[in-house]
Amino acid sequence: MTPTPEPKKVKIALCQLATTANKDENIKTATSAIKEAAAAGASLVVLPEMWNCPYSNDSFPTYAEDIDGGASPSADALAAAAAANAVTLVGGSIPERSEDRLYNTCLVFSREGALLAKHRKVHLFDIDIPGGVTFKESDTLTAGEAITVVDTEAGRLGIAICYDIRFPELAQIYAQRGAQLIVYPGAFNTTTGPEHWELLQRARAVDNQLFVAACSPARNPKASYQAWGHSTVVSPWGKILGTTDETPSFVYAELDYAEIETRRRNMPITQQKRYDMYSLVDKT
């Protein structure tokens, strides 16, 4: 990969969208949110995990779109919205159908609406917390096999989805590859969200001395899955640069990528790692 782009300042917008069971309505909501974020001055816009459908295993197969096959109204709408508003767009995620498999997939578009990257969620959300939350994405979805670092006009971005944030090795590999910001479209819930959502974002940011942004759907009281909301942007020092509650809302923050160099110079933990005692192997 080429050297990390020059440090610069980027205004990011996280669109905490209300999602419904109506895909067309969800696409309209996303399109108008991208326009509103751009009008507010954002050059990098982020959408939530599974923004075009309810977050449920019943929904994923019926809402899934064949992105590679060119049959994806959601992808088409995102490409058009990125170009119309001249923003770099991390398009949250949607259920993707590819041959006989389904994936939880994030698309990244340039300011011209070109598809820059496609990331399939690597760690599937299979958990069982009795009295709390039980979910098994692997009932319908297949895990991705590739990790994604992409150069954009808004910086070098590492892309990962929701449960992926619990795996520090992935974030460390992104940092090693020069990511300035890791973007996690996510949909934590009312059991794990209050305990871990902010903690994990701050941990990944401080571990790796880079920016972290996590964008959730808004909570829908009628939905089977109660999203935590609280979309958040964190600095390399672990500072919350912007956050919200569980309602449909926008989070704006300015990312000054020069801070990454400052923090790493002041506290050079990457050079201080004891790779004579332990190791991280990038097998991708």
The single residue of 118, 121, 198, 259 carrying the catalytic annotation is 121
Q: Is 121 a catalytic residue?
A: yes
Nearer of residues 49 and 259 to ligand AKG, judged by Cβ: 49
DSSP 218-280: PP-TTSSS-B----EEE-TTS-EEEE--SSSEEEEEEEETHHHHHHHHHS-TTTT--TTT---
The nearest distance, CB 187 to ligand AKG, in angstroms, is 5
Residue ranges in contact with ligand AKG by CB under 6 A? 49, 125, 162-163, 166, 187-189, 192, 196
The nearest distance, CB 188 to ligand AKG, in angstroms, is 5
19: Cβ–Cβ under 8 A, 6 or more apart, which residues? Answer: 26, 29, 48, 50, 51, 52, 53, 54, 55, 217, 218, 220
The single residue of 11, 15, 49, 65 carrying the catalytic annotation is 49
Nearer of residues 3 and 130 to ligand AKG, judged by Cβ: 130
The nearest distance, CB 125 to ligand AKG, in angstroms, is 3
> Token pair of 34, please?
């991208």
Q: Is 259 a catalytic residue?
A: no
The nearest distance, CB 195 to ligand AKG, in angstroms, is 8
Nearer of residues 188 and 257 to ligand AKG, judged by Cβ: 188
The single residue of 162, 198, 215, 259 carrying the catalytic annotation is 162
DSSP 112-135: TS-EEEEEE-SS--EEE-TTS-EE
Distance CA 214, CA 73 (A): 24
Nearer of residues 136 and 273 to ligand AKG, judged by Cβ: 136
70: Cβ–Cβ under 8 A, 6 or more apart, which residues? Answer: none
Nearer of residues 60 and 163 to ligand AKG, judged by Cβ: 163
196: helix, strand or coil:
helix
Q: Is 162 a catalytic residue?
A: yes
The nearest distance, CB 221 to ligand AKG, in angstroms, is 18
Give the active site residues: 49, 121, 162
